[in-house]
Structure 1
Amino acid sequence: MTIVARLLLRRLLLLVPLTLGIVLFVFIVMRFADMDPASAYYQGANPTPEQLHQFREENGLLDPLPVRYVNFVGDLLTGDMGISVLTRDPVIDQVTTALPLTLQLTFLGLGFAVVLSLVLGVTAAVHRDRLPDQLIRVVSLTGVAAPSFWLALLMIQYGAVELGWFPTGGYINPNDSFTGWLETMTMPALALSLPVAAQLTRVVRTAVVEELDRDYVRTAIGSGLPPVVVVGRNVLRNALINPLTVLGLRVGYLLGGAVVIETIFGLPGMGKLMIDAVRNGDPAVVQGVVLTTAAGFVVVNLVIDILYLLVNPRLRSAA
């Protein structure tokens, strides 16, 4: 078995206790949340105490916590996230309906963040301590301090209301109109990605500056290689390790930030699903959304670990 295969196998094995720990944490937190499935089920019907007790008994809510946890894990292994007490629909169906939009928003925002940070970060590093570098550093500091919801409101005010470049909200399926989908998703993705792009820009700049000071760069440029080739082929590849680490951590921010952004722009994704579930006291749906988001964060970090090996072969030899 190769070194890469052993590393991947070890990472996959570590996912088992990590996933179980996440499930346990979410289960415990939801048990102490101020949400009563029985009251939500009879919402507006003035149920009697006997009806509430009967509902809790039929749904296993009176069982000891260890028994409920084992049953919960067993249901998850079969793809059962429970039933919404409001709509009576399986939670897995609601999650799979809302998840594609959230993934579209997250990865479009991720693409914007990566492109902006690479262009701005490399430009600042190449023009170190000169005017472009100073301007980019000021812009990146401002972006780090700007929250996504504030950027979203500014974009709606100026980009949609005053200039009319984009719609104020709503969603168009890309299968119906790719242009319409891009128009409805551009502002939400930008609002979500700009703080991440600002932070990544600073990390990329620092990493590229450190690589530019190394001996192999001076040797390569001194031997006649164009600086653009040296930066693109060698410097950037070796400098991507730290930005990849930060990017893996910020994906969780993108997934979590999608909750607020989807609510502001009226997008029917996971964020809106969870907000509605919290507002209506539907714990099964909240639990399903949180678990799905946590699972996505774990998978993305596994992909980042694989990218480490692809970007820098020195990690394979060190491992």
Structure 2
Amino acid sequence: MIVLRILLGRILSLVPLLLGVTLFVFVVMRFSPVDQAVAALGDTNPTDAQLEQFRRENGLLDPWPVQYGRFIWQLLHGDFGNSVITKQPVGATITTALPLTVQLTLMGLVIAIVLGLLFGIISALYRDRWPDQLIRVVSLAGVAAPAFWIALLLVQWLAVGQGLFPTSGYVSPQDSLGGWLNSMTLPAVALALPVAAQLTRIIRTSMVEELDKDYVRTARGGGLPPVVVVGRNVLRNALVNPLTVLGLRVGYLLGGAVVIETMFALPGMGQNMIQAVGDGDTAKVQGFVITIAFMFVLVNLIVDILSVIVDPRLRSHS
């Protein structure tokens, strides 16, 4: 019941946040120098009268509050509007592109968590010795390196140099599971390494703090094996802070996917968004940005709930 109450409170607190996101996106797009009428009719050399008619038919001349109210009403009904270029529903494009972005983000997240846990634990257990020093230097370099730069190095080394992976393109898992893994590995690794480096440093710090506490010394003094002490107590307590930070890192993964998808020619949300920006397709850009923002909010809600489940102390403060 406590978890359900906290869940309900978190969901209610997200309502104004989501409204703020939609308002921000709406206002930014209205300040865009792109004229939707020109973007839609530009290839036909329209007259001023035709441009004016397009604006009137599509409600572009209505007051902003009216346009925003109509925009929210459409969103509540799952309608992102129609592309001004293709005249196709934006929701259909999102439905097609979103699964690939989710695949890339989840694959990058799994890689980041596995590497972060592995090297964070090793670094903490070998504190101030050469494995710790080496991991700290490498993780610092990983934090400083942007995902697109890592992607370039991986393509140069593993794709062009060794020929182990394709440089671009996407294979659906329905067509070939092996081909899908082959096409997604380099993008996912490039996306994951900066996050893995950050998690490594956070997990190492949390583990070191827990290992210095009295209950660990008592458990070790009582003869409990180190594996039991670390696995049963230290690791669980040390993962509370990294779990909280992980929600923000997922936002980084979603944002990084925009660049990585473009570099590897993956037909996900990122590549479609870049193309929509180039075409001046305001409806598509709005739909993509709001979808990614909603995903980020949803992930952080899930992380909040997991944090409450893992750390009972948070329940007493919620």
TM-score category, normalised to shorter length? over 0.9
- Indicate the residue corresponding to 2:64 in structure 1: 65
- Indicate the residue corresponding to 2:249 in structure 1: 250
Measured against aligned partners, the alpha-carbon deviations of 1:91-132 in whole angstroms (never above 9, x if no partner) come to 000011000000000010000110100000010000000000
Indicate the larger mover: 42-51 or 279-288. Answer: 42-51
The Cα of 1:176 is off from its aligned counterpart by: 1.5
CA distance in 2, matches of 1:317, 1:283: 45
What is the percent sequence identity of the aligned residues?
Answer: 66
Partners of 2:165 and 2:186 within 8 A in 1:
yes
- Indicate the residue corresponding to 2:19 in structure 1: 20
- Indicate the residue corresponding to 2:143 in structure 1: 144
**Secondary structure, aligned partner of 2:43:** coil
- Indicate the residue corresponding to 2:99 in structure 1: 100
CA distance in 1, matches of 2:153, 2:37: 41
- Indicate the residue corresponding to 1:50 in structure 2: 49
Indicate the larger mover: 18-27 or 292-301. Answer: 18-27
- Indicate the residue corresponding to 1:89 in structure 2: 88
The Cα of 1:153 is off from its aligned counterpart by: 0.8
- Indicate the residue corresponding to 1:209 in structure 2: 208
The Cα of 1:134 is off from its aligned counterpart by: 0.2
- Report the count of equivalent residues: 318
CA distance in 1, matches of 2:121, 2:48: 66
CA distance in 2, matches of 1:317, 1:144: 34
The Cα of 1:317 is off from its aligned counterpart by: 3.3
1:36 partnered with 2:35? yes
Partners of 2:123 and 2:135 within 8 A in 1:
yes
CA distance in 1, matches of 2:317, 2:239: 17
Let me know the Cα RMSD of the aligned residues. 0.9
Amino acid at match of 2:182: E
- Indicate the residue corresponding to 2:181 in structure 1: 182
Q: 5+ residue gaps in structure 2?
A: none
Amino acid at match of 1:189: A
- Indicate the residue corresponding to 1:232 in structure 2: 231
- Indicate the residue corresponding to 1:75 in structure 2: 74
The Cα of 1:172 is off from its aligned counterpart by: 0.7
TM-score, normalised relative to structure 1: 0.98
CA distance in 2, matches of 1:160, 1:22: 39
Query: Which residues in structure 2 correspond to 1:99-178 (within 5 Å)?
Result: 99-178=98-177
The Cα of 1:148 is off from its aligned counterpart by: 0.6
The Cα of 1:206 is off from its aligned counterpart by: 0.2
Measured against aligned partners, the alpha-carbon deviations of 1:237-282 in whole angstroms (never above 9, x if no partner) come to 1011111122111111110110100000000000001000001110
Indicate the larger mover: 27-36 or 299-308. Answer: 27-36
**Secondary structure, aligned partner of 2:290:** helix
Measured against aligned partners, the alpha-carbon deviations of 1:175-208 in whole angstroms (never above 9, x if no partner) come to 1111111111010001011111111110000000
Partners of 2:168 and 2:266 within 8 A in 1:
yes
**Secondary structure, aligned partner of 1:44:** helix
**Secondary structure, aligned partner of 1:171:** coil
- Indicate the residue corresponding to 1:192 in structure 2: 191
Q: 5+ residue gaps in structure 1?
A: none
Amino acid at match of 2:25: V
TM-score, normalised relative to structure 2: 0.98
Amino acid at match of 1:126: L
Amino acid at match of 1:168: T
Structure 1 segments (4+ residues) deviating >6 Å: none
- Indicate the residue corresponding to 1:277 in structure 2: 276
Partners of 2:159 and 2:166 within 8 A in 1:
yes
Amino acid at match of 1:190: V
CA distance in 1, matches of 2:154, 2:132: 26
The Cα of 1:314 is off from its aligned counterpart by: 2.2
CA distance in 1, matches of 2:316, 2:61: 54
Indicate the larger mover: 52-61 or 221-230. Answer: 221-230
